[in-house]
Chains A and B, each alone.
Chain A
Amino acid sequence: MTTATIAGSQVELNDEGFFEDPEQWTEDMVPELAANEDIHELDDKHWQVIRFMRQEYFAHGTGPTVRALGKTSGVSVKELYQLFPKGPAKIAARIAGIPKPKGCI
């Protein structure tokens, strides 16, 4: 576990860079968290996915996998990989301040 300063606030991250406590996350951290993932311009679709990730996490206790995102977020699998080329569910979870989504498919 490490402590990082994001948008002026201290947050706790696990070894893979996911938030230990999603409650420590605030929306103003998103640009910096995204930049850490090599995403320097955030459009509405990025935000749609990021908010959806949090919504699903708080509703179900885990964030959605890529397949679930493609089916339910309103953003297609193809677009998801354009928005988050290094893995949509994984990267969006890091930016959304939630743990890594569980699931094999």
Chain B
Amino acid sequence: MDLSTHKVSIIVSQGSLEGIYPALIMANGARAEGMEANLFFTFFGLDAVHRQRHEHIKISTVGNPGLHMATWAGGLPGVSSVMTHYMERKMEALDIPSIPEFIEMISDTGAGLYACQASVDLFGLTKDDLIDQVEGIITVGDFYEMAVDGHIIYT
């Protein structure tokens, strides 16, 4: 099926590893099918495109029942880092790229990367705080204009 006339707009609102990867996989997969894809980073999702932070994205170990560990244990110092390290090793073995590498690749596929104006204002950021692949800081209205007649995925 020719999907090249289809479009998907993916909103990334979380700053955790498990909040970011699915959105990146969806965007990359859409481009691989020939679809137009745009990623919009909002709220804590901005960390995925933050120069200083995107290399340090962690798994959320508190309030995450999927990890099957006691809630109190998830909050202990260092647990999030250890779990993230463990997951990153497993991902590396499967040749899943790191978040910075993945985002660079997605940009190379021709997908658009955008940051949310309201969130950038809220966190006191500027374009310089964000990686070069971010094409612009846009409003919700700009987002809808770009997303019109396509699918919207919120993660």
Which applies to chain B's interface (DSSP): helix, strand, loop or mixed? loop
Bound state CA distance, A87 and B109, in angstroms? Answer: 9
The residue in chain A whose Cβ has the minimal distance to the Cβ of B94 is: A105
* Cβ contact within 8 Å between A86 and B25: no
* Cβ contact within 8 Å between A81 and B31: yes
CB distance from B77 to the nearest CB of A (A): 32
The residue in chain B whose Cβ has the minimal distance to the Cβ of A66 is: B32
Interface-facing stretch out of A1-9, A52-60, A70-78: A70-78
Which applies to chain A's interface (DSSP): helix, strand, loop or mixed? helix
User: 1/0 per position for A88-105, CB-CB distance to B under 8 A?
Assistant: 111100000000000011
Q: Is A28 an interface residue (CB 8 A)?
A: no
Chain B residues 1 to 41 lying within 8 A of chain A, measured CB to CB, are 1-4, 25, 28-29, 31-34
Residues of chain B contacted by A77 (CB below 8 angstroms): 105, 108-109
* Cβ contact within 8 Å between A87 and B105: no
Bound state CA distance, A81 and B109, in angstroms? Answer: 6
* Cβ contact within 8 Å between A66 and B109: yes
Bound state CA distance, A30 and B34, in angstroms? Answer: 20
User: 13 interchain pairs (CB within 8 A)?
Assistant: A66-B31, A67-B95, A68-B95, A81-B108, A85-B4, A85-B34, A86-B34, A87-B4, A87-B34, A88-B32, A89-B32, A105-B97, A105-B102
